[in-house]
């Protein structure tokens, strides 16, 4: 397929900035072997745009990250190539370094929500576990929250003696609701992007020491999600929540709490629904190369929720345990067992994952 003018401009931007000394190009590959058993019910209707649940599923993905600085101009691009999903420009941002602590970005970026979405996202190697919480899934009929937005993002830090307050404010356009799930602004196909409306988000966090990863904070977002579904005109979604990451010697705890309120607007009237989701992950380093971990995640008021029913692959409850082995300084093997409950089915699964970061 011939490249469009926009794609050529994007490539030119990358090549142009790659001549600076301040550039970074990192590949995050991953290979997954997934075995599912005890699937209930056995015959699951395949939703429009979805994929059948298979007992044994190999999977592969490659995340390509690029960042370059040209003076105070910072460019960041991230492309994710995954099986069964088109290659997607996850992030394409241009930022201006206003000072040591503050950057103003325009482009497509991660919505400043929670901990997982801002810390790990597609870089599986960076997270200890093989999977991420269901609420933080980013593609298709398993992803109920707008995790990518396009617009303006201001992020920075306010020092308080030896502590820091981190802030992120974003204003832009969020996704629309297609038959295959939420669809953020796609820079490759702006002409057929459909209607996108307001998304505003804020994330604040406190770091007791800015050079260690301990962090506690809160966030809120409001999004108007236009829909192409016949029965829903648009969804007005409000999200609020809290998160924390705490590390002490060999122990690490990561937790998130989400309150999500949706007004589903139809020609016949508005239906209100809301749910609460939480996840808590504990990690224990047995040895510098071996980490044991477990995670619990659950959603309250999820059953028969008219908004979550649009996302039948959403994992609303999961209990998992796993073991990570760092093969080298940039490669990891993870073995994870999970009991999974989605909107309309449940199963047990074992995942073996290899992930890396090169160079």
Query: Least distance (Å) from other proteins to the CB of residue 69?
Result: 6
CA 145/CA 124 separation, integer angstroms: 19
Query: Least distance (Å) from other proteins to the CB of residue 191?
Result: 28
CA distance readout (Å), 48 to 41, 88, 357: 18, 20, 34
Q: Is 18 in the site for other proteins (CB under 8 A)?
A: no
Cβ-based nearer residue to other proteins, 201 or 308: 201
When binding is defined by CB under 8 A, the residue of 95, 107, 151, 172 that contacts other proteins is 95
Q: Is 214 in the site for other proteins (CB under 8 A)?
A: no
Binding mask 141-160 vs other proteins (x if CB under 8 A, - otherwise)? --------------x-----
When binding is defined by CB under 8 A, the residue of 34, 75, 145, 302 that contacts other proteins is 75
- Residues 242-301 touching other proteins, rule: CB under 8 A, are 288
Could you tell me which stretch among 36-44, 48-56, 179-187, 323-331 binds other proteins (CB under 8 A)? Answer: 323-331
When binding is defined by CB under 8 A, the residue of 7, 178, 330, 331 that contacts other proteins is 330
Q: Is 26 in the site for other proteins (CB under 8 A)?
A: yes
Q: Which helix (H) or strand (E) holds 298?
A: strand 290-300
- Residues 105-124 touching other proteins, rule: CB under 8 A, are 118-121, 123
CA distance readout (Å), 61 to 23, 290, 350, 351: 23, 24, 18, 14
Could you tell me which stretch among 30-38, 138-146, 205-213, 227-235 binds other proteins (CB under 8 A)? Answer: 205-213
Of 224, 139, 232, give the one whose Cα is nearest residue 183.
139
CA 74/CA 96 separation, integer angstroms: 6
Q: Enumerate long-range contacts of 281-287, CB under 8 Å, 24 or more apart.
A: 281/128, 281/129, 281/253, 281/254, 281/255, 282/251, 282/252, 282/253, 283/128, 283/251, 283/252, 283/253, 283/254, 284/250, 284/251, 284/252, 285/250, 285/251, 285/252, 286/250
Q: Give me the sign of the Cα torsion angle 232, 342, 108, 202.
A: positive
Q: Is 89 in the site for other proteins (CB under 8 A)?
A: no
Task: Pull the structure tokens for residue 209.
Answer: 């020491």
Q: Which helix (H) or strand (E) holds 181?
A: strand 181-183
Query: Least distance (Å) from other proteins to the CB of residue 87?
Result: 19
Could you tell me which stretch among 20-28, 183-191, 238-246, 259-267 binds other proteins (CB under 8 A)? Answer: 20-28
Buried b (16+ CB within 10 A) or exposed e, 296-313: ebbbeebeebebbebbbb
CA 137/CA 121 separation, integer angstroms: 9
When binding is defined by CB under 8 A, the residue of 162, 189, 231, 348 that contacts other proteins is 162
How many residues of this chain interact with other proteins, rule: CB under 8 A? 36
Of 218, 209, 280, 221, give the one whose Cα is nearest residue 243.
218
Query: Least distance (Å) from other proteins to the CB of residue 357?
Result: 6
Could you tell me which stretch among 49-57, 67-75, 186-194, 305-313 binds other proteins (CB under 8 A)? Answer: 67-75
Q: Is 210 in the site for other proteins (CB under 8 A)?
A: yes
Q: Which stretches of the chain bind other proteins, using CB under 8 A?
A: 22-24, 26, 65, 67, 69, 71-72, 74-76, 93, 95, 97, 99-101, 103, 118-121, 123, 126, 155, 162, 210-213, 288, 326, 329-330, 357
């Amino acid at each position: 397929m011939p490249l469009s003018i926009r794609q050529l401009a994007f490539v030119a931007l990358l090549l142009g900035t790659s001549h600076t000394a301040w550039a970074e190009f990192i590949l995050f590959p991953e290979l997954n072997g997934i075995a599912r058993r005890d699937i209930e019910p056995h015959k699951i209707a395949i939703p429009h745009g979805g994929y059948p649940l298979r007992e044994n599923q190999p999977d592969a993905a490659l995340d390509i990250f690029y960042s370059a600085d040209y003076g105070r101009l910072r460019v960041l691009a991230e492309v994710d190539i995954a099986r069964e999903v088109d290659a997607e420009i996850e992030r394409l941002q241009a930022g201006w370094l206003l000072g040591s602590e503050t950057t103003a970005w325009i482009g497509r970026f991660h919505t400043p929500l929670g901990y997982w979405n801002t810390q790990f996202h597609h870089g599986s190697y960076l997270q200890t576990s093989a999977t991420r919480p269901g609420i933080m899934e980013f593609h298709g009929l398993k992803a109920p929250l707008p995790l990518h937005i396009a617009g303006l993002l201001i992020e920075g830090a306010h020092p308080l003696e030896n502590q820091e307050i981190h802030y992120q404010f974003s204003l832009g356009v969020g996704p629309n609701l297609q038959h295959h799930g939420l669809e953020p602004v796609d820079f490759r196909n702006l002409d057929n992007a459909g209607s996108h409306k307001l998304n505003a988000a804020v994330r604040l966090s406190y770091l007791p020491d800015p050079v260690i990863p301990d962090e506690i904070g809160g966030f809120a977002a409001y999004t108007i999600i236009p829909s192409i579904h016949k029965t829903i005109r648009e969804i007005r979604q409000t999200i609020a929540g809290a998160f924390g990451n705490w590390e002490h010697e060999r122990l690490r705890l990561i937790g998130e709490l989400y309150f999500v309120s949706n007004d589903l607007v139809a020609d016949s009237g508005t239906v209100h629904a809301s749910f609460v989701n939480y996840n808590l992950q504990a990690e224990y380093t047995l040895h510098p190369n071996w980490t044991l971990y477990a995670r619990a995640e659950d959603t309250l008021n999820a059953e028969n929720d008219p908004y979550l029913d649009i996302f039948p692959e959403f994992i609303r409850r999961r209990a998992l345990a796993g073991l990570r082995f760092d093969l080298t300084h940039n490669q990891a093997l993870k073995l994870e067992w999970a009991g999974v409950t989605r909107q309309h089915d449940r199963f047990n699964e074992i995942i073996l994952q290899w992930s890396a970061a090169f160079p």
